[in-house]
């Protein structure tokens, strides 16, 4: 990601503070940032804090003799690869849609010949207002990339759509832009092994033990890794999902079958164990259907299934460079996930609360904690496709600098 430059336009709004973290994350990827800070944006973050992180001058005024002689809004708007507006307020979006240019930010946006990406944020009623939606449609038709805001508690005290996307989500969108523009695939040449879905453990030829996993998150991760250039092998338990495009899919039923398929797929650079594997199976499943006789129900004796995550995490010539497990918990999510990471020997754990009330198990959204040697990142509730893209971007970042944010458990 060297020799890349983003012009970041920071609009007004309490969420402007997130841009400081965004600048740091872009810098970690080798992306230089030059910033325009609007007058409203300067009410929430200072030029000094922005300049300290960008290592560059912060531009604020259109009618500045010094700035115009040194740089000028035309050069400023055209020397970047991408113009990113974050946060993009309703006012900035309206100016962009109508072609207004009464300050440095709106003038630079009108003068640029480079791609533009915006991350909107505002009150939910403002977001839903017909005028905002018209402006949004105009910008989309003009080719502006929209990073859709999230939903949740807003700074104004209301709840709804309009939250600025998190820095890691905006970073993922920027990385996607560079990959698409340059035809670069940061995971090209890497082999990723992904497990997904439930396993079925037979009781007899008719009945089995299973769980509520839909496979949606694992399938989304497989697709996201493939989009970044990885060769992906997806080992899937029974699901109703279509095969992700460009992904090699191996369908299995039991935990033992899944382990065999995973071991056969090695070597791999990346292993992401998303599947909800049954912990136990019947020690000897019946050859014929067990009949109800009217007496006591049959006694079932259980044995432990093989531990796929722990097996893949073992030190050896075929151990993937990065092994990621998932921890589906219903209580003490982070504590249990930390213990699981240490117990299994994997590098990262993605933990989530799958209590029935969350709707995560089988649903379309997820809220996760990424636990690594470096610490914990909590990602907000978002569609599972977004979680997958964010995780794939983080994996690509690991291979760009594998010692920076995680190391295998000792």
Catalytic positions, written as ranges: 156
The verdict on whether residue 216 carries a ligand-binding annotation is no
Rounded alpha-carbon distances, angstroms, from residue 304 to 183, 206, 279, 286, 310: 46, 21, 6, 18, 14
Query: What are 2's two structure tokens?
Result: 């060297």
CB of 174 closer than 8 Å to CB of 6: yes
Question: Cis peptide leading into 359, omega within 30 of 0?
Answer: no
The verdict on whether residue 326 carries a ligand-binding annotation is yes
Please tell me the distance from the alpha carbon of residue 408 to that of residue 63, in angstroms, as a whole number. 53
The verdict on whether residue 395 carries a ligand-binding annotation is no
Name residue, tokens 């804090």.
49
Largest alpha-carbon pair distance within the chain? Answer: 94
Query: What are 256's two structure tokens?
Result: 């033992």
Please tell me the distance from the alpha carbon of residue 325 to that of residue 345, in angstroms, as a whole number. 10
Q: Which residues pair with 318 in a beta bridge?
A: none
The verdict on whether residue 177 carries a ligand-binding annotation is no
Residue 202 Cα to chain centre, angstroms: 35
The verdict on whether residue 404 carries a ligand-binding annotation is no
Query: What are 62's two structure tokens?
Result: 């259109």
Residue 25 Cα to chain centre, angstroms: 14
As a whole number of Å, the end-to-end CA separation of the chain is 31
Name residue, tokens 């309206």.
94
Residue 49 Cα to chain centre, angstroms: 27
The annotated binding site for CTP is made up of: 279, 289, 306-309, 326, 340, 344
The annotated binding site is made up of: 279, 289, 306-309, 326, 340, 344
């Amino acid at each position: 990601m060297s020799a890349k430059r983003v012009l970041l336009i920071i609009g007004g709004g309490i969420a402007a503070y997130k841009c400081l973290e965004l600048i740091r994350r872009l810098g970690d990827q080798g992306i230089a940032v030059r910033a325009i800070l609007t007058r409203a944006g300067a009410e929430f973050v200072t030029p000094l804090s922005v300049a300290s992180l960008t290592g560059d001058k912060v531009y604020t005024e259109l009618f500045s003799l010094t700035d115009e002689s040194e740089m000028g809004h035309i050069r400023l708007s055209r020397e970047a690869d991408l113009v990113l507006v974050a946060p993009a307020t309703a006012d900035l979006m309206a100016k962009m849609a109508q072609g207004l240019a009464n300050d440095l930010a709106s003038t630079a946006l009108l003068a640029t010949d480079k791609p533009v990406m915006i991350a909107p944020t505002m009150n939910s009623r403002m977001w839903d207002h017909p005028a905002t939606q018209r402006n949004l449609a105009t910008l989309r038709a003009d080719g502006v990339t929209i990073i859709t805001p999230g939903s949740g508690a807003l700074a104004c005290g209301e709840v709804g759509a309009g939250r600025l996307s998190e820095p890691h989500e905006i970073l993922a969108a920027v990385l996607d832009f560079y990959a698409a523009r340059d035809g670069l695939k940061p995971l090209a040449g890497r082999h990723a092994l992904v497990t997904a879905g439930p396993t079925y453990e037979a009781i007899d030829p008719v009945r089995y033990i299973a769980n509520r996993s839909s496979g949606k998150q694992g399938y989304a991760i497989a697709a996201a890794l493939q989009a970044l250039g990885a060769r992906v092998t997806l080992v899937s338990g029974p699901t109703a999902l279509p095969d992700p495009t460009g992904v090699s899919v191996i369908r299995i039923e039991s935990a033992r079958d899944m382990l065999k398929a995973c071991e056969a797929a090695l070597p791999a650079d990346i292993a992401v164990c998303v599947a909800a594997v049954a912990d136990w199976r019947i020690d000897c499943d019946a050859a014929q259907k067990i009949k109800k006789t009217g007496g006591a129900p049959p006694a079932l004796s259980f044995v432990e299934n093989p531990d796929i995550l722990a097996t893949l995490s073992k030190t050896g010539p075929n151990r993937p460079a990065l092994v990621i497990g998932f921890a589906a918990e219903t209580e003490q999510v982070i504590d249990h996930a930390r213990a699981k990471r240490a117990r299994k020997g994997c590098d990262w754990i993605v933990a989530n609360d799958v209590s029935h009330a969350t709707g995560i198990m089988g649903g379309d959204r997820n809220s996760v904690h990424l636990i690594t040697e470096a610490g914990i990142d909590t990602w907000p509730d978002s569609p599972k496709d977004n979680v997958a893209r964010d995780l794939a971007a983080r994996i690509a970042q690991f291979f760009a600098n594998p010692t920076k944010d995680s190391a295998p458990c000792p």
